[in-house]
Every structure is written in C-alpha cells, then in structure tokens.
Amino acid sequence: MTHSANGRNGLTRRGALKGMAATTALAAVPFRASAQETTLRWWSPQSAPLQLEAYNFQIAAFEAANPGIKVVFETTSDEGYAAQLAAAFASGEVPDIVTHLPSFSIHTYYSNGLVAPMNDVIEAVGPADFYDGANDVYKAADGNYVATGIGNVAANMLWLRTDLMEEAGVDKSPETWDEFRAACQAMQKNGIYGAVLPYGRNSMTTRIFVGVMHQAGATVFTPDLQVAIDSQETRDALEFYRSMRELCPPGATNYSWGEAITAFVSGATATGIYTGRVLGNVNAQNPSIADSITCVRYPTISPDVKPWTFNAFPSVFIPAQSKKIEAAKLFATHLFEPEGHIKQLLAAPGHLLPVLKSINSNPIYQDDPIIKKYATEVDLMASAAAEGHNLGYESKAHMSNDRAGDVEGTMAISDMVQRVVLNDENPDVVIGETAKIIEEVMKG
C-alpha cells in the first residue's frame, strides 16, 4: 500500500494505552461537535456479554474524549445482517458505522455505491502497523479501500479432543479426509459423536462447504471470475460431506454457528470446526476438557492438496448514506486505540486475531491467560488466517469478487449441500442448477 504520511484529513493515532484525548480527537477530522448532540449508531453481529462490555468501554472512552458525540450500539445477527442492512439502505436510515461483517459483503455494497471509502481511517491507524497485505482484501478496483480489518479469523480450524484420540488409539492429527473419517469413526462411542459439520440452509454451511471444496481442489470461480463449481472436485467434496453425516449429531441438519460450537464445547463431539472462540468457551463452560483440546488445519482430500482456511476478514466500514461520516471515521479510528481494542479482542481470546503488529506484541494482549496457555494454537490460527481466503478472494490468483455477498445471499451453495446430502438428489443435476444460479448473480 502507498499512503501519505499524515492522511488526507490529518488523522493521527496515539500509541499509548489511554483513549484519544479530546484535543487529538477534534484535530483528527474536520468535524466539530455542535451545541446539538450528535449520535452515531454502531451495528455489529458480535455481541456476546464480554464483547458488549468491551464495546461499552470503547464508547465511554470515545464520548469522554469527544463531548457532543454519543454512540449507540445496536445488535444485528450473523444470519440476518443482510436483510437488516438491505432495509436500512432502502430507507436511508442507515447505521453510521458497521463492524465484524465479512469483507466480500462490503465489496458488494461498495459496488452499489452504498459504502464510503475508508482510506482516511487506514491512514489514521497507521498503514505500517497493519500486517503486510492485511488490507489488500478491501481494495476495490478503483483503488479505494472499502473497509479495514478489525481482526483476522480462522473459521474452519479442526478442533480435536486429544484425550479421546488417545483412548481410541488415534496416534496423530488427521491430515487427509480418509484419516479424518477413520479417526472420527474410532472416537464415535459412548454417546459422543465423531464430528460436527453444519448442514443447515445458512451462511455457516455455505462458508464451511466452500472450504471443503477447496480442500478437494475445487473452486467456485476461476481466477477471472467465471463460474467453475461444476467439476469433479465439487462432486468429491459433496461425497465427503455426505460420508460425514452419520458421524455428526442428528441435529446437524439445521446447525449453524451457535449449535456447531456448542456441540464441541459441551463434549458432545470428539472434533469440532470453528474459530478460536472455542478456547474461551471451553475454559468458561467445560473446563474439565480444557487441557485436552488442540487445533490443526482442516484435512484435505490428499496430501497433494494444500489446506485452505476461511478468513471472513471481519471489517469496519461506514455506509455512504450516513450524514455523520467524519464523526464515524473518528470513531472507527478510535476502535483501534490499544486499551479498548485489546479489551475487544480478549473478550473472546483467539476468536479475532490482531491485524496490527503493535497489538499482537503488546504485553497486555500476550499476558492474557488463554493466549498464553494456548500459544501454539493461537500461533497456528494466526498463520492460517493470514494466508486465508473467502468467496470474494478465493486465492491470490483470483480477482476480487464484488458479487460474492450476493452469491452467498442466494444460499445456492448450502441448498446444493442439502439437496445432495440430505435429499439424495442427483449431484450432476444439482451442481448444474447451482452453477446457473451463480451465473445469473454474476451477470448482475
């Protein structure tokens, strides 16, 4: 990335652990609080109790530093944000700042003129502090950055119960699908299922199955964004997914994110698939297994196929229809102030991984008990996420796909999984029909 030293609006960022002082904040953008109070609306689907506590800290620090500006947090949902934002965009009653949505959704919104460029915020935070390439996924064709990352996430790590592996005679972490199935079959006993995969009509099934496709050597698109889903590798991925159904709990038919993590954390399954949120949840909800969990990259069809990690690149962006864009930029910059940002990350240790080098090396972050205890797992997730991709950014060779959010929104991929795996429909017919649906979306 190339940026000017101070940014277009002269935004600055303090490196100390204190919140931005009022003088710094008011100098940051050409915004001045008027006698009439200004209220910013902040939307996010990430709203667990400890996260809300961190958000409230960040809001209080910002309001103290910026008299005349108030911030109101409003919860969306992982499955419902698309409809909620569509309604907001249609009415013009938009939030002023949105966080934690996947990068490909923002590209779709930006291509429709609904998102303001975030170049100034990246300048304010400090381009050199971001890990190399961290913001590449947000760069639009016109050169603007449509968002910036608030954290990295490795969404499809394979979580293992090492105690159950030992009991079942599984002597190594599985690296291929055959090894994984065999391990799950060996551990599926005494009321414990071998695995957990989502089969519901939802975003988790879509995103996890996109990962499974890549683990088979398939892609949804060619590098120049032609639809490539109709392939033998996709058929192999569907067959693998079908073969795992009997190793997952009966309720997996409707599983999404919440049910999937609960199944592993509660001890109902011997393996799991999720982000690093597993670490905090296990220690808080089922500490008896806390010393017996680890994670590896999800297995692939063969050693010839490299692992593929789904990183949604959780973001910070500002709707273009906001009437308070400069104040929203100021608050977006504040979200990276170290004390509050670290509180936000450590509300679910290991779930969101730092995108800033200064945060990762900060003693307060590194001294967290979960981060210290599972240093090996956190390092692996950080490495996997840094190399991660998603439907809008399938590989380094792929063009950025600003229709990826629309493709996911059709649920065509999770429908394909349900039709083939649960309904036993003909894979050739279903894959062909799925390809046509995606082709229509890509035509706009």
Name 177's Cβ contacts closer than 8 Å, sequence gap at least 6. Answer: 215, 240, 299, 300, 301
The pLDDT-based confidence of 14 (bands split at 50, 70, 90) is: very low
- Tens of pLDDT, residues 362-406: 999 999 999 999 999 999 999 999 899 999 989 989 988 989 999
Report pLDDT for 77: 79
Q: Does residue 72 have a pLDDT over 50?
A: yes
For the residues 290-317, what does the mean pLDDT come to?
97
The pLDDT-based confidence of 39 (bands split at 50, 70, 90) is: very high
For the residues 309-320, what does the mean pLDDT come to?
95
Q: Does residue 30 have a pLDDT over 50?
A: no
**Alpha carbon distances (Å) from 156 to 3, 102, 124:** 33, 15, 32
For the residues 67-83, what does the mean pLDDT come to?
89
Instruction: Please give the Cα distance from 94 to 96 (Å, whole number).
Output: 6
For the residues 342-364, what does the mean pLDDT come to?
95
Per-residue tokens: 3: 């940026």
Give the phi and the psi of residue 306 in degrees, each rounded to 5.
-75, 150
For the residues 27-55, what does the mean pLDDT come to?
76
Residue 316 is inside which H or E element, if any?
Answer: strand 315-319
Half-sphere exposure of 414 (CA within 13 A, CB side): 22
Report pLDDT for 394: 94
Report pLDDT for 35: 42
Highest mean pLDDT among 3-7, 8-12, 171-175, 382-386: 171-175
Q: Closest Cα to residue 337, out of 101, 150, 128, 119?
A: 150
Instruction: Please give the Cα distance from 122 to 444 (Å, whole number).
Output: 30
Comparison of pLDDT for 25 and 47, the residue scoring more = 47
The pLDDT-based confidence of 33 (bands split at 50, 70, 90) is: very low
**Alpha carbon distances (Å) from 442 to 100, 108, 225, 396, 403:** 25, 11, 9, 20, 6
Question: Percent of the chain, pLDDT > 90?
Answer: 84
- Tens of pLDDT, residues 194-218: 999 999 999 999 999 999 999 999 9
Q: Does residue 19 have a pLDDT over 70?
A: no
Q: Does residue 23 have a pLDDT over 80?
A: no
Per-residue tokens: 207: 């995103």
Report pLDDT for 20: 32
pLDDT averaged over every residue in the chain: 91
CB count within 10 Å of CB 245 equals: 15
Q: Are 276 and 349 in contact (CB under 8 A)?
A: yes
Report pLDDT for 279: 98
Q: Does residue 69 have a pLDDT over 70?
A: yes
Comparison of pLDDT for 136 and 193, the residue scoring more = 193
Q: Closest Cα to residue 270, out of 183, 209, 205?
A: 183
Residue 284 is inside which H or E element, if any?
Answer: helix 277-285
Q: Does residue 47 have a pLDDT over 80?
A: yes
Residue 370 is inside which H or E element, if any?
Answer: helix 369-373
- Between strands 97-99 and 38-44, the pairing is parallel
For the residues 43-69, what does the mean pLDDT come to?
95
CB count within 10 Å of CB 427 equals: 17
- Tens of pLDDT, residues 325-339: 999 999 999 999 999
Find where tokens 């910013």 sit: 40
**Alpha carbon distances (Å) from 330 to 71, 303, 307, 318, 342:** 12, 48, 39, 11, 18
Per-residue tokens: 26: 């008011």
Q: Check the CA dihedral 287-78-202-209 and report its sign.
A: negative
Report pLDDT for 374: 97
- Between strands 157-161 and 293-297, the pairing is antiparallel
Report pLDDT for 80: 80
Q: Does residue 9 have a pLDDT over 50?
A: no
Q: Does residue 188 have a pLDDT over 90?
A: yes
Instruction: Please give the Cα distance from 157 to 118 (Å, whole number).
Output: 30
Name 208's Cβ contacts closer than 8 Å, sequence gap at least 6. Answer: 155, 156, 197, 198, 273, 310
Report pLDDT for 36: 58
Give the phi and the psi of residue 313 in degrees, each rounded to 5.
50, 65
For the residues 111-121, what does the mean pLDDT come to?
95
Question: Percent of the chain, pLDDT > 70?
Answer: 92
Q: Rounded to two decimals, what is the model's pTM?
A: 0.86
- Tens of pLDDT, residues 255-277: 999 999 999 999 999 999 999 99
